[in-house]
Structures are given as C-alpha cells and as structure tokens.
Amino acid sequence: MSESAFGIRPGEVATELPPGYDAGVYFIGRIRTPWKRREECPKNARESDAACTIEVDERFARALAGIETCSHLLVLYWMDKSRRDLVLQVPRNRSGTRGTFALRSPARPNPIAASVVRLVRVNGRQLSVVGLDCLDGTPLVDLKPYFASTDAVPEAVVGWHAERDQPA
C-alpha cells in the first residue's frame, strides 16, 4: 500500500530536491518503440532485438549529416515518468538496497538514460536502431557517435552485481 500511495518501497529513501532547476533541456525528437506500457518493455536492451525508430525534429535534421557512417550510437533520452528524489532504491527484480548512482534505474535526480544502439538505417530524419528498451514516445535528448577507443571497456565490472552481468 505504501508503494502504491507514494511510489516508494520499504528500504527506499528520498531526499529533498533543490528548489529549482539549474539548466534546461530541449526535447529534440521522439523514440518510437513497440512498448506502450512499462510492463511490456524488455528488462534491458540486450533482451530484445526489436528495431526501434528515432525520429529527430525537423529543426535538427541537418545535425544528422555524417551519422550514417557510424555503426553504433550513444542515445540519451528523458525518462519522464520517474520520480527524481530517490537516493536509496530497492530494485524490483533483486534483493538489497542500493544507491541511485550504483543503479541504472530510471528514478534519478536527472532522468537521462544512456543507451548504446546499433544503427541499422538512416531514412531522412528517421533512424532505425536496435538496442533500446524504452516506452513508445520517449523524448530524445541527444545522439552521439560511439567511439570504441573511449567508450568501450569490455573488462569493466559491477561488483555488487556478481551473479549476472545485466543492468538493474
């Protein structure tokens, strides 16, 4: 009941958010996916090979020049359905309480997700990509070329997540 009433589970802790924002974000497009409700979303992006479509707004269309030469992109998007004040969380699918910055949970002070996607095709200002797990209609915040030289660290370890190496 406390969960449905306040969106917070036993063991979770909220902080007081700052009185105002420090900067502003433009939504520069939308992400189209097959998933209309959170329960339908794959638990993480590697669970699905569904092609999703990133649609960039007309005013930013020219900023896509050259992106078709990239095999992979880093996509930043805004998870606008999440509360922002949780500092300790109890992931639904795992035991234990962890700090927000040790989790990939959408509930965080700035609900910006970062996902690596494979770029399949560019068609005007629509990009077909594989590797997203977000809700249909999610606002797009940024697209970046993925550089293996600086972005790929295959040996990285998340110690608390020993049993299984999938984001929670």
Smaller CB separation from a second copy, 2 or 152: 152
* Residue reference for tokens 């090979």: 49
Largest CA distance in the chain: 51
Smaller CB separation from a second copy, 4 or 54: 54
Smaller CB separation from a second copy, 2 or 25: 25
Cβ proximity of 97 and 89 under 8 Å: yes
Minimal distance, residue 34 CB to a second copy, in Å: 19
Minimal distance, residue 37 CB to a second copy, in Å: 22
Minimal distance, residue 143 CB to a second copy, in Å: 4
DSSP run (H or E) holding 157: none
Cβ proximity of 129 and 119 under 8 Å: yes
Smaller CB separation from a second copy, 4 or 128: 128
Q: Tell me the C-alpha distance between 25 and 141, whole Å.
A: 7
Minimal distance, residue 120 CB to a second copy, in Å: 14
Using DSSP, state whether 9 is helix, strand or coil. coil
